[in-house]
Chains A and B, each alone.
Chain A
Amino acid sequence: MTHLSPGFADPVLDAQASFRAILEAMSRPGRIQRIEARITPPAPLCTAAAAALLSLADADTPLWLDAGEAVAEWLRFHCGAPITPEISAARFALACGTAPSLEALDVGTDEDPQLGATLILQVAGLVAGDGWRLTGPGIQHEHRLRVLGAPAEFTAAWARNHTLFPRGVDVLLCAGDSIAALPRSVTIAEG
């Protein structure tokens, strides 16, 4: 370990504010929220993905990631989360490069669907009011969301994930300090 940048400046209130942004994102799928906390995570980790892991991951949540040793070191130190090479054993999966297939993640069981993993997906950008048409719980009529740099064939994979309901994977889309969520209950139609 040579140099490790700090985590949240205020571990209590920054985690609370980040969680509320994530809760708002999860409650209103496709609406983009901003993470207020000022952190400088090691590249390629973005602020929003870092804040999500700092506020949610700990020793109880095995973490899979493809972001390299510097990020693994940073998260191991600040979250205390065990890093697992087995993506199917992870509660949280962090994808900064080529996204893993949703099928590779734990989707929970019919009796315990809450064991389904959360995929934190770093994308190039999030734009509201355009692109995908989202419907489902949390959405009054329709939310529009354009995801720049979304994985190839994502909407088809998402449709398969959605048919597993109540099992399934939930996704947090992160770009810079912006975050939007796709809970398994949501339906995506191409715009």
Chain B
Amino acid sequence: MTEAGYNFAYLDEATKRMIRRAILKAVAIPGHQIPFGAREMPLPYGWGTGGIQVTASILGPTDVLKVIDQGADDTTNAVSIRRFFTRVAGIATTEVTGEASIIQTRHRIPEKPLTEDQILVYQVPQPEPLFRLEPHRAETRRLHALADYGLMHVRLYEDIARLGHIAKAYDYPVMVNERYLMSPSPIPAFDNPKMHQMAALQLFGAGREKRIYAVPPYTPVRSLDFEDHPFRPIRAPHACAICGSTASYLDELVTDDAGGRAFICSDTDYCQERQQAPKAAAE
């Protein structure tokens, strides 16, 4: 049963129409940030208000929703967003990647490849990839219009000149369909290759910054790099302490006050699935 007194999925219909129009234009212009009138949501900025508004606008009663926060289904943010949509839309939720039709994510892409029947919704804190390089929005809009991304190349080059490598482990800038420079949201650079030619539709919502953008299915997404310094996804050189995976993205845990460390999968559903199928995990 849904909470009485609310429209289905919380937002009013006029707001949903406005967001839906923005989403359609975002899909038609891959990687371009569309301004939209973000509403005040019953949780603070920074907790996924953009992602929630996108999810609320696409969600239907037959959808199955999964929400992850840094790969985990059981963190406060993920649990409260799932509960929010259970209450205001009465929809089913899941923690299993393969069972979800909509996956809202904060800062990770699931390890299991997504299918054509799924939509991935990202929570985005800062949609403008040139934000730290050019503070004026009027100017970044012009740079996007001209596809002038020299600033970002210089920034990456300066890393190489100073440190010998590109020192960006997350929110690593990408070119979408070879036209727009896009922030992939603060996902680890490890996840960037999963965006390339993904079968699922990817939608991005930034609530405080009031921007929506999208990557349609099967669209080229290239991490910026140089011929002599090719892009390399970074992963801790360990196996998961629980499931033993050597392919997944790992979180580092401090286990005691004597310098003890453990590495475990960031994607809790992936890790669980491997624990339940130890035979398949053996090799």
Contact = CB atoms under 8 A, between A and B. Distances in A.
A57 B13 CA distance: 11
A15 B217 contact: no
Given A61-B21, A114-B22, A165-B179, A23 B29 contact: no
Give the interface size class of chain A.
35 or more
Interface in A1-41: 11-13, 15-17, 19-20, 22-23, 26-28
Contact of A56 (B7, B21, B146): B21
Contacts of B26: 114
Interface string B129-145: 00000000000011011
B13 A15 contact: yes
B154 interface: no
Q: Which of A15, A116, A138: most chain B Cβ within 10 A?
A: A138
B254 interface: no
- Most chain B CB within 10 A, of A23, A27, A28, A118, is at A27
Interface stretch (B39-47, B56-64, B161-169, B266-274): B56-64
B217 A22 contact: no
B18 interface: yes
Contacts of B34: 114
A184 B28 contact: yes
A111 B141 contact: yes
Contact of B17 (A13, A56, A165, A166): A56
A111 B61 contact: no
A58 B14 contact: yes
Contacts of B59: 16
B27 interface: yes
Interface in A156-172: 165-166, 170
Which of the listed residues A15, A26, A91, A165 has the most CB atoms from chain B within 10 Å of its own CB? Answer: A26
A26 B16 CA distance: 17
Identify the interface centre among B17, B180, B215: most chain A CB within 10 Å of its CB: B17
Nearest to B142: A111
Interface string B116-129: 10000000000000
Contacts of B28: 26, 116, 170, 183-185
A170 B24 contact: yes
A23 B13 CA distance: 17
Interface in A125-178: 137-140, 165-166, 170
B27 A23 contact: yes
* Most chain B CB neighbours (cut-off 10 Å) among A22, A23, A60: A23
A113 interface: yes
A12 B20 contact: no
A148 B98 CA distance: 38
Contacts of A55: 17, 20
Contacts of A15: 13, 16-17
B27 A26 contact: yes
B249 interface: no
A110 interface: yes
Interface in B201-215: 201, 215
Specify which of B29, B57, B59, B217 lies most central, judged by the most chain A CB atoms within 10 Å of its CB. Answer: B29
A13 B27 CA distance: 22
7 contacts: A16-B9, A26-B27, A56-B17, A56-B20, A111-B142, A138-B219, A140-B217
Interface of B: 7-9, 13-14, 16-18, 20-30, 32, 34-35, 57-61, 116, 141-142, 144-146, 177, 179-180, 197, 199, 201, 215-219
Q: 5 tightest CB-CB pairs across the interface, nearest first?
A: A183-B28, A110-B145, A138-B216, A114-B25, A137-B219
